[in-house]
Amino acid sequence: MAGPLQGITVVEVAGELSAYTGKLLADLGATVTLIEPTAGSPLRWYEPFAGDQPDPDRSLWWWHYQAGKASVAADLDTADGAAKARALFAGADVVVESAGPGVLDALGLGAAAARAARPELIWVSITSHGAQDPRSAQPSTDLTLLAEGGPVWSCGYDDHTIPPVRGGGGQAGHTAGHYATMSLLAALLSRQLTGRGQVIDVNAYAAANVTTEMASYGYLAARSTVQRQTGRHASPRPTQPTQVICADGAYVNTGPPRHGKDFGELAGWLEQLGLEDEFDEMGVLRLGLELEHISMAQMEEHDLVGEIFAAGRAAMFFLAERLTAYELFLGLQQRGMPAGIIYSPEEVAADPHFEARHWARSVEHPELGRTVRYTGLPVTFPATPAGPLRPAPKLAERA
Amino acid sequence: MGTGALAHIRICDFTGQLAGAGATKFLAAMGAEVIRIEDPVTQGRWDILRGAPPFKDKRRGSEFGSGFNNHNVNKLGITLNLRTDKGKELLAELVRRSDAVTENFAPGVLERWGFGYSHLKELKEDILYVSNCGFGQVGPYGTFKSWGPIAQAVCGITFTSGLPDLPPAGWGYSYMDHTGGYYMAIAILAGLFWRARTGEGQWIDMSCTEAGAALCGPALLDAEVNGRPLRRPGSPNSNRNAWPAMAPHGIYATDGEDNWLALSVQDDAQWQAFATVVAEPWAAEERWRHRDVRLDHQDELDELVTAWTAGRDRFALAEQLRAAGVAAAPVQRPGERIDGDPATAAFGLWPTVDHAAMGEIRVDGLPVHFSETDWAITEGGPLLAMHNDDVYHRVLGLSPSEIDGLRAEGVI
């Protein structure tokens, strides 16, 4: 296996909150070995299943998060299983676990014991609320962590009778995993100098708390409370929409035109499409071209500037009504205006830019008789490119 | 040199906003010497957050942006005019004395200044160069503009957030600026680790959109393997969606205005615990004890749960349910989690820094602790040119009169 962490041995005690960290480390080239119960990790039963057939070897959740890892079957509450785990810890550079505070210690398999035997070991514990908070021993889910941790408060719709929204994809675990990975990499760099490892306590609730942008730092600085808005930043004061629906029913996120050049580009685009007679505010839109840059301060001073801004916004909506989301996205970007098509995750893999960058990774799945596209690497390292992705370990493939 | 895990690392840092500055914030908190270079001519305004709200008080201007302070704590700030030959010479010297060069400009900016990777490598053979832009520098969208909401739209993250028959809700903030910064920090650290072991530098060209697209893995597989795209009627239903599937699983109104409880009944055992807390006849019905039934009749179940949570206090409910072994939590406002929940302060999550212009101000800390080399955030974000004397003398060996000369010539 290649990648910047090649030669680094990671042991991961299979768990929901540790899975993503182990995956990132495998993607970086580390040798990652899972420890799971002989009956199979409960994570193997996470939906959805390939062909909707519930089977411990067909969970797509398992496929995604455990790809690139090997697995060892060991019941940690038996002497035999504990011995297997100890042997694995004794050869590890990094242990990642999310069993909950004190759970592995109670089995004689905690950080203290492992580090006494191996001072260079880096031990990463990921818990819902940190090692000291009793809530880490209580149940929590992605939904409850993002609700209490801040992201949910900022996310939803202008109409506040609609519940706030928890975004998808399991981001509470991802954010904790990002901090776990950054932290253990820093610990590996430190170990290069000192020869010593350490214990890292990663708190998923705290990770969500410091991943809310202005919701947290606006409160810290100014005691302001952001309010959620449809498809744009939550803000202490209402702001204009930035998300436009297009002729094909899909959406594009964009800012309003701000620079003199943008108004000219929009006017030119309307002419190119032969729509200049249909758009009522063409004259005002063209005036925008004369302004090198329109600042918010100017907007407050001059009525006309406000009208030009409104015409720019109207032109954007006018175009959206007549174009597909992809056409609007491409057309705005090609004319120098920031815009993003709101893709569904599966649409990303088919996008020409991502295809040109060979983003998706193809994995052979003999049981399906074909290859399957997995998400690509988040970061690539030209000096040490990653090897092919190996499918997640099946029950029968475990040591 | 400090005492943190990264005290031996020096970063020549051009990052800004959050997607870049967030990455080097982590390094600085871990003890790295992060030297942030700003343009004296534009007063550092290439990072718009320098003078952007929210503000701590009535004062405005490029030293009062609280976001800039939040993302740049513990960094050193110097100015350098790269339009001048002398400025370019000084940058070359700084690169020779650094471990990594980091930036999140639009593609090609550093190259145009004459500091593309090939030149950086001439200056220092083993330099690590990490660039981070919206789409990556190679590919059809290589020149496209991006910021957080655009990156998260294109990578699929925005779409995952929404309720049936409503537009995408998005994330309500730049999740991908935070997360792009995290991936960038991972890229820098992994690149430095490779360099520490092999002596080899490299150019890591990160694409924030690509990094974000790695965050929706099971959804891609569901489409690939089962032909079930996330874009389909009734989908996403992101408060209800869960892997594994659970019911009830949602966000329910409680007492007062805009108050909500998040509830996840993970399995049949948690349902029994939930039913005991509810203690109403409907909850005792036998049929609800079965996960399949709860999943098949989720609308009906949600109506019952909604009627039950209505008028109750979300904090009391969450505490009661958690004590019973059910996953539940209030949807917290910023003040409720920052000042209302003592656990966040007890973790040290909101360190106070003494900013040279703003005075004492709290910032986001790190959600981790290290047993041997823990992080520390003690210094506010640098004022413009704040560390010129220190860095040009201590790092580049210039005398005070030479530094004064640079100042007079408009180089720094």
Distance from CA of B238 to the nearest CA of A (A): 6
- Element (H or E) spanning A340, and its range? strand A339-341
**Tally of residues, chain B:** 412
Interface contact A200-B369, CB threshold 8 A:
yes
- Burial (CB count within 10 angstroms: exposed 0-12, middle 13-18, buried 19+), residue A358: exposed
Chain A residues lying within 8 Å of B140, measured CB to CB: 352-353, 356
Instruction: List, for residues A63-85, the tens digit of each pLDDT value.
Output: 999 999 999 999 999 999 999 99
Same domain, B18 and B161: yes
Instruction: List, for residues A345-376, the tens digit of each pLDDT value.
Output: 999 999 999 999 999 999 999 999 999 999 99
- Element (H or E) spanning A370, and its range? strand A370-374
Q: Does B233 reside within a domain? A: no
Same domain, B376 and B318: no
| In contact, B221 and B234? CB cutoff 8 Å | no
Interface contact B177-A213, CB threshold 8 A:
yes
Same domain, B285 and B369: no
Distance from CA of B39 to the nearest CA of A (A): 21
Minimum-distance CB partner of A130 among B55, B179, B347: B347
CATH number at residue B391: 3.40.50.10540
| In contact, B315 and B330? CB cutoff 8 Å | yes
**Which residue is closest to B306 within chain A, CA to CA?**
A163
Where do we find the tokens 């950054």?
A182
Interface contact B335-A143, CB threshold 8 A:
no
Q: Does B224 reside within a domain? A: no
The CA-atom distances, in angstroms, between B408 and each of A163, B42, B396, B401, B403 are 58, 17, 18, 10, 9
Rounded distance, CA A142 to CA A171, Å?
Answer: 7
- Element (H or E) spanning B264, and its range? strand B260-264
In degrees, to the nearest 5, what angle opens at C-alpha B180 toward C-alphas B177 and B181? 85
Mean pLDDT score, B36-55:
94
CATH number at residue B311: 3.30.1540.10
Same domain, B139 and B21: yes
Q: Is the pLDDT of residue A156 over 70?
A: yes
Interface contact B222-A337, CB threshold 8 A:
no
Rounded distance, CA B25 to CA B188, Å?
Answer: 12
Same domain, B189 and B274: no
User: Judged by CB atoms within 8 Å, which residues 353-382 of A form the interface with B?
Assistant: 353-354, 356-357, 359-360, 368, 372-382
Interface contact B6-A356, CB threshold 8 A:
no
DSSP reduced 3-state for A235: strand
User: Judged by CB atoms within 8 Å, which residues 259-278 of B form the interface with A?
Assistant: 260, 262-264, 266, 270
For B353, left (φ over 0), alpha (ψ -120 to 50), or beta? beta
Distance from CA of A231 to the nearest CA of B (A): 5
Q: Which of A95, A90, A105 is nearest to A32 (CA)?
A: A95
Instruction: Read off the tokens for B183.
Output: 């991936």
Q: Is the pLDDT of residue A397 over 70?
A: yes
Count of domains forming chain B: 2
The CA-atom distances, in angstroms, between B64 and each of A213, A231, B53, B363, B381 are 17, 28, 8, 14, 10
What ranges do the domains of chain A cover? 9-211+360-397, 251-341
Give the count of Cβ contacts less than 8 A between chain A and B: 517
Residue A21 touches partner B, C-beta closer than 8 Å:
no
**Residue B236 preceded by cis peptide, ω within 30:** yes
Q: Which of B330, B359, B388 is the last residue of a domain?
A: B330
Q: Does B187 reside within a domain? A: yes
CA torsion, ordered B100, B103, B107, B112, to nearest 10 deg: -70
Rounded distance, CA A49 to CA B70, Å?
Answer: 43
Rounded distance, CA A347 to CA B155, Å?
Answer: 9
Same domain, B313 and B368: no
- Burial (CB count within 10 angstroms: exposed 0-12, middle 13-18, buried 19+), residue B230: buried
Best B45, B64, B315, B331 member to test A by mutation, with max A CBs in 10 Å, is B331
Rounded distance, CA A150 to CA A87, Å?
Answer: 40
Instruction: Provide φ and ψ at A231, rounded to 5°.
Output: 60, 25
Q: Does B3 reside within a domain? A: no
pLDDT band at B1 (very low <50, low <70, confident <90, very high): very low
Instruction: List, for residues A225-258, the tens digit of each pLDDT value.
Output: 999 999 999 999 999 999 999 999 999 999 778 7
Interface contact A217-B363, CB threshold 8 A:
yes
Same domain, B352 and B317: no
Q: Does B240 reside within a domain? A: no
Rounded distance, CA B170 to CA B150, Å?
Answer: 11
Minimum-distance CB partner of B70 among A217, A347, A381: A217
Q: Is the pLDDT of residue B228 over 70?
A: yes
User: Judged by CB atoms within 8 Å, which residues 115-144 of A form the interface with B?
Assistant: 129-133, 135, 138-144
Dihedral sign, CA of B136, B141, B147, B150? negative
pLDDT band at B3 (very low <50, low <70, confident <90, very high): confident
CB neighbour list of residue A282: distance below 8 Å, 6 or more residues apart: A267, A270, A276
User: Judged by CB atoms within 8 Å, which residues 205-264 of B form the interface with A?
Assistant: 206-207, 210-211, 213-226, 228-231, 236, 238-239, 241-246, 249-253, 258, 260, 262-264
Residue B5 touches partner A, C-beta closer than 8 Å:
yes
Q: What domain range is B305 assigned to?
A: 249-253+260-330
Q: State the ipTM, two decimals.
A: 0.98
The CA-atom distances, in angstroms, between B163 and each of A95, A207, A262, B166, B333 are 38, 25, 33, 6, 21
| In contact, A365 and A376? CB cutoff 8 Å | no
Same domain, B351 and B381: yes
Same domain, B304 and B164: no
CA torsion, ordered B322, B325, B327, B332, to nearest 10 deg: 0
Residue A1 touches partner B, C-beta closer than 8 Å:
no
Same domain, B113 and B14: yes
Percent of chain A with pLDDT over 90: 91
Which superfamily does CATH assign the domain made up of A9-211+360-397 to? Crotonobetainyl-coa:carnitine coa-transferase; domain 1 (3.40.50.10540)
Same domain, B350 and B295: no
Rounded distance, CA A291 to CA A308, Å?
Answer: 10
Instruction: List, for residues B143-172, the tens digit of each pLDDT value.
Output: 999 989 999 999 999 999 999 999 999 999
Same domain, B120 and B191: yes
pLDDT at position A301, please?
A: 62
Percent of chain B with pLDDT over 70: 100
**Number of C-alpha atoms within 13 angstroms, CB side, residue A143?**
30
Q: Which of B330, B362, B388 is the last residue of a domain?
A: B330
Interface contact B163-A162, CB threshold 8 A:
yes
DSSP reduced 3-state for B338: helix
Best B27, B71, B215 member to test A by mutation, with max A CBs in 10 Å, is B215
Interface contact B167-A251, CB threshold 8 A:
yes
User: Judged by CB atoms within 8 Å, which residues 41-70 of B form the interface with A?
Assistant: 53-56, 66-67, 69-70
Rounded distance, CA B94 to CA B13, Å?
Answer: 10
Chain B residues lying within 8 Å of A353, measured CB to CB: 135, 139-141
Instruction: Read off the tokens for A251.
Output: 């959406």
Minimum-distance CB partner of B66 among A157, A217, A372: A217
Mean pLDDT score, A105-126:
97
